Amino acid sequence: MLAVYIILGIIALIVLLLSVKVRIEAEYFDSFKLRLRWLFLHFDIYPMQKKEKKPKKEKPQKEEKPQEEPEKEKKPNPFKTFYENQGFDGVMQLIRDTADAVGSLMKSVKKHLIIDELFLWVVISHNHDAAQTAIEYGQACQDVFPAMGFICSNLHVRKYDVEVEPDFIGTFSSAQFSAAISIRPLFLINAGIVLAVRLLFKVVLKIFKAKPSEPQNHTETQNLQGGATQ
């Protein structure tokens, strides 16, 4: 019984750790930065810190006689075999099944994805040209604000702010943003497992179960042709 309690305790600990949110932070001010935080761990995804590698001592290479590699038999392409058996309709059904599985994954992730922060600052300027700056400012407002409204209405956003300002005496436009997204790894793993199972049974197995079509016998084709001419 002690071993069972230890295993259950380990499983409970893993589930507890996977229930802690993973936070992804992205920002662009002078340069783009991408970070990942989980518990007390912190990872810089971009830019990554390069580790200096020590130069390795090169060993003298011995001359080896080239060995003749045996010719490998080409394996049949399973997708081509599936297409030859099922045709265009079968391939389209595979595409529909794949799109359905990916769509269900996105819906599942969407329910548990939280945007903690989303800030965007845009300055519009066009080389000291006030008229062109005003035109580009109107276009930017027409593009940015509906896009932000779509994100905030379809996703769970806690804090957000958007500022679009014209600069009539500036020389060029600029943009800065800061965003933080969090999700529990447990939900992400569950969604990934469901996606893998659906793709396995609805797509992968169908492709690999397809048997290559048998070529027709040469004598049979001649008899068919002869019968047709008679």
* pLDDT confidence of residue 172: 86
Distance between CA atoms of residues 216 and 203, nearest Å: 29
- Predicted pLDDT at 89: 81
Q: At what angle do helices 2-18 and 185-199 cross, to 10 degrees?
A: 100
Rounded Cα gap, residues 137 and 224, in angstroms: 74
The pLDDT of residue 228 is 46
Helix (H, G, I), strand (E, B) or coil at 50: coil
User: Residue 67 has what pLDDT?
Assistant: 61
Instruction: Judge contact between 137 and 124, C-beta under 8 A.
Output: yes
Contact 177, 28 (CB under 8 A): yes
Q: Along the 230 residues of the chain, how does pLDDT read in single tens digits?
A: 788 888 888 989 888 888 889 999 999 988 899 999 988 888 888 887 666 666 666 666 655 655 665 666 667 777 777 777 777 788 888 888 888 888 888 888 888 899 999 999 999 998 888 899 999 999 999 999 999 999 988 889 999 999 999 998 888 889 999 999 999 988 888 888 988 998 888 888 888 776 665 555 544 445 544 554 44
Q: What is the pLDDT of residues 72-113, one digit of tens each?
A: 666 777 777 777 777 778 888 888 888 888 888 888 888 889
Of 112, 134, 138, 115, residue with least CA distance to 125 = 134
CA pair distance 21, 189, nearest whole angstrom: 13
**Residue 138: what pLDDT?**
93
Q: What is the CA radius of gyration of the chain?
A: 30
With contact defined as beta carbons under 8 Å apart, do 195 and 101 qualify? yes
**Three-class HEC string of 63-121:** CCCCCCCCCCCCCCCHHHHHHHHHHHHHHHHHHHHHHHHHHHHHHHHHHHCEEEEEEEE
Structure confidence at residue 56 (pLDDT): 65
The CA distance from 197 to 83, in Å, is: 22
